[in-house]
Amino acid sequence: MSPRRVSAVARKEFLHVFRDPHSLAMGIAIPMFLLLLFGYALTLDVDNVPLVVWDQDQTPASRELVSRFSGSRYFSLRAAVGDYADLVARIDDGRAMVALVIPPQFAARVRTGRDAPVQLIVEGSDANTATLAISYAEAVVAGYSRATLLRHMEAIGGVEPPLPLEIRPRVWFNPELESKNYIIPGLIAVIMMVIAALLTSLTVAREWERGTMEQLISTPVQGHELIVGKLVPYFAIGMLDVAVAVLMGEFLFDVPMRGNVALLFAMAAVFLTGALGMGMLISIVMKNQLLASQFAMVTTFLPAFLLSGFMFAIANMPQPIQVITHVVPARYFVALLKGIYLKGVGLEILAGEATLLAIFGMIVLLLANVKFKKKLVY
């Protein structure tokens, strides 16, 4: 491989990128926009669930229960309704997601130590949010029940019975349980995979469509030199995107970086090499910019978003889908990013993922070199 010929191809590609504002926008502006959009819009935290209350008892005991709901960060009290029809109407039109119904004689039943059932009506069209809302409501009611039991035991001069089992949770790596702390690192992998493949999926196809491939074929440049030379500018842009994403995660989203930054960039370089090589392979095979860009989007964005473990836990997927995820390179980069960002671990733990990423990069580059034929095909 001649460094001179590779640098000449790389210089040509750099000039094309800098003279084409669309390429620059796709390479730099779009990743920043996507990170901002997904970083702020995409959240799995369930806070401020809209709540309405129908308090049929109107006693200090019932108002205390309502105050426990309204004082929680998980619920937002929107209104107190006076009848069942108003309650149903507010859930139907989306003004409320959860309704708390406190029956008459609630305080009397609590005071005498009898069961005091309350009703919780949940709008369940969003099953995940509804499940979390029910869990939060159960926790609020459990806290109220415990406080009521303590007051009752104090009133009769008794001793609080010990709990047979008490859970004291301790959350590692993401103690605040904020979804952004694992969404932002995963977003870096998804965005880099899509942008890298889209950028290079147009390079060789563009040469064929514009008729400049004939000129390149007539030069002494070898096929592998052409591929490497064309990858160099986009590799530089990709690493710049990684740097911008890391800075945005640190200073804009306050995502903790507990691991080695140098290791993060090293793994990003390995991942980018494979993603760029995949785009180059698509471009060589398709020889059409429109087809290449569409195929690159289908083969990068959807698998990276759905099958990488970024949004959905792979362990919860059906077994055949879990097998398919092993051929999605973003799966390994997402695991690397989360391990470096949140756990602060190194290659002693992540060596398997790093090795598989390197193997993927070598395979796609080898396939691109094999598929590229330095000759005219009619």
User: From first to last of its 378 residues, what are the pLDDT tens digits of the chain?
Assistant: 777 888 887 887 788 777 777 767 777 788 888 888 888 877 777 788 999 999 999 999 999 999 999 998 899 999 999 999 999 999 999 899 999 999 999 999 888 878 888 999 999 988 888 988 999 999 999 889 888 888 777 777 666 566 566 677 788 888 877 888 888 888 888 888 877 777 777 777 676 666 666 666 667 777 778 788 888 888 888 898 899 999 998 888 888 889 999 999 999 999 999 988 888 888 888 877 778 778 888 888 888 888 898 878 888 889 999 999 999 999 999 999 999 998 999 999 999 999 999 999 999 989 988 887 655 444
Domain with CATH 3.40.1710.10 in the chain: 49-155
Phi, psi of 2 (to 5 degrees): -95, 115
Phi, psi of 173 (to 5 degrees): 70, -35
| pTM over the 0.85 mark | no
Q: What was the pLDDT predicted at 353? A: 93
Q: What was the pLDDT predicted at 75? A: 94
CB 61 within 8 A of CB 110: yes
- Can you tell me the distance from the alpha carbon of 231 to that of 224, in angstroms, rounded to the nearest whole number? 11
DSSP code of 59?
S
Q: Specify the CATH superfamily of domain 49-155.
A: abc type-2 transporter like domain (3.40.1710.10)
Q: What is the CA radius of gyration of the chain?
A: 29
CA distances for 94 relative to 84, 91, 97, 98, 134, angstroms: 16, 5, 7, 10, 17
- Can you tell me the distance from the alpha carbon of 373 to that of 144, in angstroms, rounded to the nearest whole number? 74
Q: What was the pLDDT predicted at 335? A: 92
Nearest to 197 by CA among 128, 106, 300, 108: 300
Structure tokens at 192: 């880099």
Classify 202 as helix, strand or coil: coil
Q: What was the pLDDT predicted at 313? A: 85
Q: What was the pLDDT predicted at 329? A: 92
- Can you tell me the distance from the alpha carbon of 339 to that of 349, in angstroms, rounded to the nearest whole number? 9
Q: Burial of 53 by CB count in 10 Å (0-12 exposed, 13-18 middle, 19+ buried)?
A: buried
- Can you tell me the distance from the alpha carbon of 127 to that of 41, in angstroms, rounded to the nearest whole number? 19
